[in-house]
Amino acid sequence: MSYMTRKWSKFGERFARPTGAAELMEDLGIATAAGNEALLLGGGNPGKIPEIQSLFRSRLADIAASDVSTDQMFGNYPHPKGDVAFRKALAELLKREYGWQLSADNIALTAGSQTGFFLLFNMLAGEFSDGSVKRILLPATPEYAGYTDIGLMENLFVSQRPEIEDHPDGFFKYHVNFDTLKINEDIAALCISRPTNPTGNVITDEELQQLDEMARRADVPLIVDNAYGLPFPRIVFSKATPFWNDNVVLCRSLSKLGLPEVRTGIIVANEEFIEALSNMTAVQSLAVTSAGAVFVQPWLESGEIIDISRRYITPFYKHKSQVACQILKRELDGIPFKIHIPEGAFFLWLWLPGLPISSHDLYRRLKARDVFVMSGHHFFPGLKESWSHRDECLRLSYSQDSAVVEEGMKLIGEELRKLY
């Protein structure tokens, strides 16, 4: 029986179909295989920071020279919550830095944050044994495309449009529209990313506090996707106070530190959540790899990971964001466009008001010229209402080599000029 005619289970039908996440990862694979011939502005790969690469090589040498570290990394099944020493070190770091009252039992590791979201969303929302159905509320789209197809049931998410605040010099910023935000009885949790992939938006301290208060009143958890945030990797360029309490589920990762292949997601939550995640991990994969945990553990214990992030990672991406904005403004001169203020992460969110074709058609045209971007329509999970804005945006990564970013943006300008 061929692949095309095989009958899958409902689970298979749900997750074997093409998705935005699959399209993105396929593009990443194609672009990586093409080497210098491809202009990769669409993926989520972190940049190669020379000082960080040097630290990584030094750490690998230390591990290779230590029988204990090598055995800890490769030789044993760890606890299903993740490496114990790593979790203890991280808990101590967060207590020292922020005064949060937590322990290793408030932390679980997952096989990348994407797996963590799969487990979290599907244990909180979906179909319940009493026949009720609950969903995850995204207070403001655009949001991370990886959420979109992650549910065991269709329509796991509901979301709403943000308020759009105009700024000088062709910039704008999204805000949560609290006038229309409602937490109905069918909502199982709120989820917000900070900084936001794809837009680079950092919701304000006041917005986050208000979401926390709303979640507490409704007796639902607030999930905060903090993959780019503080204390590491610290890809944040605006004021953003770290935030956690026993009703917040804080999701982190080692990927944007520069370690995407170690697939280490980190969840900080109350012990009920952590125990449930541990049990699910044991069923799903027995345990989570310790490679990433062992790799960075000494930097957590010493606090060096904060200094590394502050000295190398933050200034690297802040400079690249400023240069990318300058290049984009130059290459798109005369074309109607706006850029979301880059407050964090490593993407520019390009808005093309009145774009004559859809952003996905523009994506296809650019891909034909070996320019890989990501169409904005993927980033509106749960938004049911029609909104032209979702088909007028592109996500552009500026994390890669400057020459790649510049040439890619030049070709984007060329394609857009054909349309106007």
Q: Is the pLDDT of residue 19 over 90?
A: no
Region 310-322: mean pLDDT is: 98
pLDDT confidence of residue 2: 46
Q: Which pLDDT does position 224 carry in this prediction?
A: 98
What pLDDT was estimated at residue 147?
94
Buried b (16+ CB within 10 A) or exposed e, 367-383: beebbbbbbbbbbbbbb
Tokens found for residue 11: 């689970």
Contacts of 157 (CB under 8 A, 6+ apart): 135, 136, 137, 138, 147, 148, 151, 381, 382
Residue-wise pLDDT for 195-242, tens only, equals 999 999 999 999 999 999 999 999 999 999 999 999 999 999 999 999
pTM for the complete prediction? 0.93
252, 120 in Cβ contact below 8 A? no
Q: What is the three-class DSSP state of 156?
A: coil
Domain coordinates in residue numbering, the chain: 10-52+308-417, 75-303
Q: What dotted CATH number matches 10-52+308-417?
A: 3.90.1150.10
64 has a pLDDT exceeding 70:
yes
171 burial class (0-12, 13-18, 19+ CB within 10 angstroms)?
middle
Q: Decide: residue 238, CB within 10 A, 0-12 exposed, 13-18 middle, 19+ buried.
A: middle
CB 98 within 8 A of CB 253: no
Give 181-233 as a DSSP string.
----TTEEEEEEESS-TTT-----HHHHHHHHHHHHHHT--EEEE-TT-TTTT
> What integer pLDDT is reported at residue 75 of this predicted model?
81
pLDDT digit string (tens) for 273-290? 999 999 999 998 898 989
Low-confidence winner among 23-27, 270-274, 302-306, 366-370 (lowest mean pLDDT): 23-27
What strands lie across the sheet with 171-175, from one edge to the other?
A: 163-167, 171-175, 338-340, 347-351, 393-397, 374-375
Distance of CA 139 to the CA centre of its chain: 16
Percent of the chain whose predicted confidence (pLDDT) is above 90: 85
Model confidence band, residue 37 (pLDDT cutoffs 50, 70, 90):
low
Q: Specify the pLDDT at position 1.
A: 40
- Report how far residue 167's alpha carbon sits from residue 159's, in angstroms, rounded to the nearest whole number: 24
Helices vs strands, H then E, count in the chain? 13, 16
pLDDT tens, position by position, 89-100: 999 999 999 999
Q: Could you tell me where the DSSP H helices lie in 332-390? A: 359-368
From first CA to last CA, the distance across the chain in angstroms is: 49
pLDDT digits (tens, 9 = 90+) for 332-341: 999 999 999 9
Mean pLDDT of 36-46: 84
**Class assignment of domain 75-303?**
alpha beta
